[in-house]
Amino acid sequence: MRFRDIKMLMEGARIQHAEDIIFWEGSKGALRVVSSLKSLEQQGHKEVTIKWDGSPAVIFGRAPDGRFIFTDKSGWSAKGYNGKTTSAEEVKDMFLSRSNGARREDPVQIEFANTMADLFNQFELIVPTNYSGFFKGDLLYTETPPVIKKNFVFKPNIVEYAVDVESELGQKIRPSNAGIVIHRQIDEEGNETPLEQYDIFTGNNVLVVSPISVEQPAQKISPALNKLETLVNKNANAIDGLLSKPELSMMKMTDFPQILYRYINSKVDTGLDSLGADFGTWLQASNVSNVKKQKITNYISNQQVAWSALWQTVSAIMQVKDNIISQFEQQGGDVQQNIPGHTTNSGEGYVLAHPEGDIKLVPRSTFSAANRAAVR
């Protein structure tokens, strides 16, 4: 497949919330989560890394012919124009041309476009000329962060970070002009995989932050997880029947898991208690078609045991997850995270590596709520 023919979803292989995995993987997914969380009392915490709250998202790298490309999500997937920009000038023009050119009169947008254009030149230097492929990541800062109380402080999005200037990470931040956390590398065929070789990049003007692991295991979570495991095993057949892909396909409800995901996200705004109890009210107010609303309502009413077990499982996973996050956030370390307006350490959360699919441990009641509020 040639470079210009690459087609891919920009969300890539989305990492799911621990409590949401059951929607797509059923009881086996829930048990996978339980097993993974249990491991965090042992040495499994070493597989947990900080989930950085960077912004904006960018994609950069080299095409097979050696051309360097630096763009954002919209540019990468653009159809009405060529968003795979190959020069600083093209980057600036791309950003200012959006909104029918209205941005050309906006000083804030002009400054942003100039910053992104400057980043083109800096990022081009860190990718070897003989490398072929791309990287997808989120920017952490676009100039050397200021030092406040012996910490480099930067706030790319919702979360504010403070990094000890004398720490290993602090020493890497000091000479850099920009920082980025990379989520995926993309090969010539458009396949995405986690980045494992951080020594690909050259120079120190742009810091590619490598994963930062949790320092200590979680404690006293096994009792709750054992109860959860019993709950899932007892109701596995019912849960899997409710989420059966063949059944949902036959009923033309294959988007049922996605609808459940939309519902739980909406609960971030109204409160994450009593999950499932007000689903019917939410459904009727949603933009789901009237025909499908009736289908879903009838489907659920005929599987009340499974419906109850599903949300008991989701709620229990969320409670254990929040406990784990709280423990990890109190450990300290070289990176301190804080969402302005919250009195305790709180960040975007963590990612637990797993061979069958990484698991996202995000505090929905704090980070997700703050993020959704900012978007609104």
- Specify the 3-state DSSP secondary structure of 148: strand
Can the peptide bond before residue 145 be classed as cis, meaning omega within 30 degrees of 0?
A: no
Q: What pLDDT is recorded for position 113?
A: 96
| Confidence tier at 196 by pLDDT (50, 70, 90) | confident
Predicted pLDDT of residue 189: 84
Please give the mean pLDDT across all residues of the chain. 91
At 274 the pLDDT is: 92
Dig out the tokens for 198 from the structure. 């951080």
Judged against a pLDDT cut of 70, whether residue 149 lies above it is answered with: yes
d(CA 173, CA 179): 8
For residue 351, the model assigns a pLDDT of 94
Q: Is the pLDDT of residue 152 over 70?
A: yes
Backbone conformation region of residue 244, classed left if phi is above 0, alpha if psi is from -120 to 50, else beta: beta
Q: Which of 22-36, 43-57, 175-189 has the highest mean pLDDT?
A: 22-36
DSSP E strands, the chain: 16-17, 48-50, 57-62, 68-72, 133-141, 147-148, 151-154, 160-164, 178-186, 192-193, 206-208, 335-338, 350-352, 359-361
Predicted confidence at residue 7, as pLDDT, reads 32
- The proportion of the chain whose per-residue pLDDT surpasses 90, expressed as a percent, equals 77
Distance from CA of residue 326 to its chain's centroid?
19
* Nearest-angstrom CA–CA distance, 310 and 95: 44
Lowest mean pLDDT among 50-54, 193-197, 281-285: 193-197
Give 281-340 pLDDT, tens digit per residue: 999 999 999 999 999 999 999 999 999 999 999 999 999 999 999 999 888 788 999 998
Asked if the model's pLDDT at residue 122 lies above 60, the reply is yes
Place of tokens 């739980």: 264
Task: Find the mean pLDDT for residues 242-255.
Answer: 97
What is the DSSP code string of 356-367? T--EEE--IIII
pLDDT of residue 9: 31
pLDDT digits (tens, 9 = 90+) for 53-85: 999 999 999 999 999 999 999 999 998 888 999
Let me know: does 180 contact 207? Beta carbons within 8 Å. Answer: yes
Task: Tell me phi and psi for residue 2, to 5 degrees.
Answer: -80, 160
Q: How large a percentage of the chain has pLDDT more than 70? A: 95
pLDDT attached to residue 35? 97
Name the band, by pLDDT with cuts 50, 70 and 90, for residue 344.
low
What does the pLDDT read at residue 310?
A: 98
